Amino acid sequence: MHDLNNLGPRIIIGFGDGSIFVTETVIFAIIIAIVMSVLALWMTNNMQRQPKGKQVVAEFIVQGIYKLVEDTMGKHNSNFAPYIGTLFIFLLFSNSLGIFGFRPVTADVNTAFALSLTTAFLMQYNGIRTMGFIGKIKHMGSPYPFMFPLKVIEELSFPISLGFRLFGNILGGAIVMALLFTSLETASEALHLPIPLLQAVIPLPGNFFFDIFEPILQAFIFTMLTMVFISMEIVIHGVDHDH
């Protein structure tokens, strides 16, 4: 459960005078990365021509992500699917850590901004790759040159709002769950219950909403907006509209 007196993530390991430290965010992110890698390796070893068992699940996930990317970004941009899929699954795991009683990894502003800065880098890189540097400057200054500062502010605000949206939603859910658990703990202490019965059943709908529904929704929205932002940079001047 979230500690209400301290909003930041707990420091697990500190080096020296404590100015260099490793927080629980990093530890859980590494654990999630290891779990994802092991799952991917386990699901794809010993693949058959006739899929059965775990291979069906793996093919379902991969096909679904490729279909989503092709529907949103167009058929010719399906080479973004591995990154988008990894992002989606990582967000799914890291948002729903609260269901095990841990602090969600994305409830740390550093994680959310690392992910949104990756999106921003991909946006700018693909914009410059397709249009060229001069072409991108021209594109930002069209239709009128005085639009240029507005476009700069717009492109800066995309990653900021993307990062804060993810961070705020997950942190809000974690704080609401912590408040619920704290109030139920106080109530069951006041009623002198031998076992904390109130905390066992009542938070279940909250858990369902904040630890299952909201993570899926936020992971979907983050990946969806990433795809939209990247394809906004790639699709220029109505050249390719195949969706």
Partner 1 sequence: MPLLTPAGFVLGMSALSAACIGLAAVGIGLGQGFAAGKAVEGVARQPEAQGDILKTMLVGQAVAETTGIFAFLISMILLFVNPLVGML
| Position 175 contacts partner 1 (CB under 8 A) | yes
| Position 25 contacts partner 1 (CB under 8 A) | no
Judge whether 171 and 94 are in contact, CB under 8 Å: no
Judge whether 196 and 187 are in contact, CB under 8 Å: no
Q: Could you give the CA distance from residue 105 to residue 97 in angstroms, rounded to a whole number?
A: 7
CB neighbour class for 36 (10 Å; exposed up to 12, middle 13-18, buried from 19):
middle
Q: Could you give the CA distance from residue 118 to residue 86 in angstroms, rounded to a whole number?
A: 13
Q: Of residues 165, 178, 187, 240, which one binds partner 1 by CB under 8 A?
A: 165
| Position 171 contacts partner 1 (CB under 8 A) | yes
Considering the complex, what minimum distance in angstroms separates the CB of residue 184 from partner 1?
21
- Nearest residue (CB) to partner 1, 55 versus 182: 182
Considering the complex, what minimum distance in angstroms separates the CB of residue 180 from partner 1?
17
Backbone angles phi, psi at 11, to 5 degrees: -90, 120
Stretch that binds partner 1, among 18-26, 98-106, 167-175, 188-196 (CB under 8 A): 167-175
Q: Of residues 23, 119, 169, 226, which one binds partner 1 by CB under 8 A?
A: 169
- Nearest residue (CB) to partner 1, 35 versus 160: 160
Judge whether 9 and 24 are in contact, CB under 8 Å: yes
| Position 179 contacts partner 1 (CB under 8 A) | no
Q: Could you give the CA distance from residue 88 to residue 226 in angstroms, rounded to a whole number?
A: 11
Q: Could you give the CA distance from residue 81 to residue 26 in angstroms, rounded to a whole number?
A: 25
Question: Kind and range of the H or E element at 2?
Answer: none
Q: Of residues 124, 182, 220, 240, which one binds partner 1 by CB under 8 A?
A: 220
Q: Of residues 3, 7, 21, 208, which one binds partner 1 by CB under 8 A?
A: 7
Backbone angles phi, psi at 13, to 5 degrees: -120, 130
Q: Of residues 22, 193, 197, 228, which one binds partner 1 by CB under 8 A?
A: 228
Contact positions vs partner 1 (CB under 8 A) = 7, 161, 164-165, 167-169, 171-172, 175, 217, 220-221, 224-225, 228
